[in-house]
Chain A
Amino acid sequence: MAKRRDRNFLGPAGTSLGLGEFWALTAAGFVLFFAVWGGVAASGWLPPNLLPSPLAVWDTLVRLWNQPFAGHVYAEHLSASIQRFLMGWAIAVGIGVPLGLLMGWYRLLDEIVTPLFDAMRFVAPLAWVPLAALWFGTGIGGPLLIIFVGSFAPCVISAYRGARLVETRLVEAAQTLGASSRQVMLHVLIPGALPSIIAGLRVSAGLGWQSLVGSELIVVGAGLGYLMVQGQGNLNTTVVIAGMVGIGVVGFAIDVLLRAVEAAFKRKWGQA
């Protein structure tokens, strides 16, 4: 590389940043975030029921662990949310991925489903809430439909794209060797589409988790979203933020988990 006399001479991020400086700045960023939050909270400029300090939120988290709020302790809200999410997401994946694969394989199905799909595409997932409540009630069914609607599209699209990206030569080769339609599907199409499907699963899980949060704000009786709404109703901001922390942690964990799965698959099949 050319010697860099001028900062940013060769382009964005042209400055070479030492590892030490990078970590120092990153640490400073974390500290800055909590310092500004804690500082504003401590300054008394905002009343504490609007902006509690980070420590108050931590205390509340610890307290909610043993003491029920909105009918349940924190872990119960957490597990209610996670279970609901997993069920809704599993249904979306279980229907969406096979549908996408079949659409990639049978052209007529593609031509039939795509216009319906396009017609529904712009209906925001949360706009289904009243209809979901009407059809399945506000208990378990309604929120499941919202999560399903939120995470369904990426499952279908990624499986469809994956199936379409499988090289025709491979399919033809299998067929020349006497593979049946079912064998081509199982041994060529699905393995070929897997990388795309897994990438789509990650997107759909993120959207599904988001939809879960939205639906819990509106219709259910337990879960992190419900906890937050109850906290908001009581002007208990620490509870609201404690709920946000849980939602963030679970969302982060889902993303990390699926990224790891994605990376493992890439290693196995050597696809970059």
Chain B
Amino acid sequence: MPTEARSSGWGFAVPRRAVVGLATVGGALLLWWLATSGLRLLNPLRLPSPQEVWAAFSQISTGQGYGGATLWQHALHSLWLVAKGFAVAVATGIPLGLLMGWSRRAEALINPIFLLLRPIPALAWIPLAIVWFGLGDTGKVFVIWLTAFVPSVINAFTGVRGVDPVLIAAARTQGASTAQVIRHVVVPGAMPMIFTGLRLSLQASWTTLVAAELVGAFFGLGRVLNVAGQDIFPGMILVGMAAVAACGAATTWLLGRAERRVVNWRPAV
């Protein structure tokens, strides 16, 4: 859809979408301030005012922090867990998906296990992970691995099956060995699909991690949310939610950068 540009009167054009968008976000913030602080329409225990959120943010960012650590320590801890679980999922899931895509025998043998395990959301593994690994980090890495593993396998598999056979035949005609075909045709061909799976599973990983940390943890953003919920500290709850969103957005942005670097022959979507 073409975006109309309107003359702003300052000699440059402003897209209409940006104007309306900024006005909306500004309006929402103003409404928030009016409802909580300006006109006091809402009970501050239901929705904290912007000042209270800022106060909570200052409290957790400095000194003792909140829930046992400062915001940066909690966020770094959560980020590190997601990074570990995600890395293990990529390292195990993609090769398995490639194998299943390449060989129908492997597909026939391994697919039943996925049929049995796939309908169980990773979140449902959290209690078992706690029984197996306790409330520490291992259990969290395990459930994040589960979250990201299944989409990695399935998308690598679908990606391989989507590779144009003509390209493989062409490589064969030039005398490429099976290893070369896989390395230079199949894996690059499956890459866009693999990244689609990674993007989905990254979002899901954050949901899983937050849930796991809410159920029980010593550190992390979910722990902040949990303690704030128990203390009935609405300002801190919003700070925790915003921090989760910021981490999710930051990791998604990083993944997008990686995708542009790896899948560099294709314009970014």
Binds B, one of A93-101, A186-194, A234-242, A262-270: A234-242
Q: A25-B109, A29-B111, A235-B131 are in contact. Are A217 and B126 (CB under 8 A)?
A: yes
Does B258 sit at the interface, judged by CB under 8 A? no
Distance in Å: Cβ of A258 to nearest Cβ of chain B: 13
Whether A33 contacts B116 by the Cβ 8 Å rule is yes
* Nearest chain A residue, comparing its CB with the CB of B167: A11
CA distance A113 to B103 in the complex (A): 46
Stretch in A65-73, A119-127, A176-184 with 4+ CB within 8 Å of B: A119-127
A28–B211 CA distance with the chains assembled, in angstroms: 35
Given contacts A13-B161, A127-B244, A134-B45, contact A247 B108 (CB under 8 A): no
* A contact residues around B169 at 8 Å (CB): 10-11
Q: What CA separation (Å) do A243 and B228 show in the bound complex?
A: 29
Of all chain A residues, which has the CB nearest B28?
A116
CB B78 to nearest CB in A, in angstroms, measures 11
Contacts A10-B168, A11-B163, A229-B215 known; A213 to B124 CB distance under 8 Å?
A: yes
Distance of A259 from chain B, by nearest CB (Å): 12
The winner among A9, A13, A25 for most chain B CB atoms within 10 A is A13
Q: How distant is A161 from chain B, measured CB to nearest CB, in Å?
A: 13
Q: Is B252 in contact with chain A by the CB < 8 A criterion?
A: yes
B40-55 interface bits toward A, Cβ cutoff 8 Å, 1 = contact, 0 = none: 0000011000000000
> With an 8 A cutoff between CB atoms, is A44 at the interface?
no
Interface on chain A toward B: helix, strand, loop, or mixed SS? helix
- Which A residues lie within 8 Å of B245 (CB)? 120-124, 127
Q: How far is the CA of A211 from the CA of B207 in the complex (A)?
A: 9
Contacts of B238 in A (CB 8 A): 131
Q: How far is the CA of A48 from the CA of B22 in the complex (A)?
A: 58
B112 within 8 Å of A (CB atoms): yes
B172 proximity list for chain A (CB < 8 A): 9-10
The majority secondary structure among interface residues of chain B is helix
Interface residues of A in 246-263 (CB under 8 A from B): 247-249, 251-252, 255
**A218 with B211, Cβ < 8 A, contacts A111-B21, A130-B229, A240-B128 known:** yes
* Interchain CB contact (< 8 A) of B109 among A12, A28, A251: A28
A30 on interface, CB distance cutoff 8 Å: yes
**Cα–Cα distance between A12 and B169 once the two chains are bound (Å):** 11
CA distance A20 to B128 in the complex (A): 37
Q: Kindly state the separation between the CA atoms of A10 and B226 in the bound complex, as whole angstroms.
A: 55
Among A49, A213, A237, residue most surrounded by chain B Cβ atoms (within 10 Å): A213
Asked if B234 is an interface residue, CB under 8 A from chain A, the answer is yes
Minimum Cβ distance to chain A for residue B267 (Å): 21
Is A125 a contact partner of B228 (Cβ separation < 8 A)? no
Q: Which residue of A lies closest to B190 (CB)?
A: A12
Candidates B20, B102, B131, B161; contact of A112 at CB < 8 Å? B20
Question: Which of A23, A218, A235 is the one whose CB lies under 8 Å from B215?
Answer: A218
Q: Say yes or no: A130 contacts B226, CB within 8 Å.
A: yes
Residues of A within 8 A of B113 (CB): 29, 32-33
Complex CA–CA separation, A121 to B119 (angstroms): 24
- Highest count of chain A CB atoms <10 Å: which of B46, B123, B124, B249: B124
Are A241 and B109 in contact, with the CB atoms below 8 A?
A: no
Q: A111-B17, A210-B121 are in contact. Are A11 and B128 (CB under 8 A)?
A: no
- When chains A and B are docked, how far (Å) is the Cα of A232 from the Cα of B130? 8
Pair A25/B105 contact, Cβ less than 8 Å: yes
List 10 tightest A-B contacts by C-beta distance, closest first: A130-B229, A29-B112, A25-B108, A232-B127, A252-B119, A115-B21, A111-B20, A122-B248, A122-B245, A11-B165
Known: A27-B112, A232-B128, A248-B124. 7 other contacts (CB 8 A): A12-B186, A50-B131, A123-B248, A134-B234, A209-B121, A247-B119, A249-B119
Q: B residues touching A (Cβ–Cβ < 8 Å)?
A: 16-17, 20-22, 24-25, 28, 45-46, 101-105, 107-113, 116-117, 119-121, 123-128, 130-132, 160-161, 163, 165, 168-169, 172, 178, 186, 203, 206-207, 209-211, 214-215, 221-222, 225-226, 228-229, 232, 234, 237-238, 240-242, 244-246, 248-249, 252
A-B contact pairs, 24 of them (CB 8 A): A12-B101, A12-B168, A13-B160, A17-B105, A26-B112, A29-B112, A49-B131, A50-B131, A122-B249, A124-B244, A125-B207, A126-B123, A127-B245, A128-B241, A129-B214, A150-B207, A214-B211, A218-B214, A225-B124, A232-B131, A240-B127, A240-B131, A247-B124, A251-B119
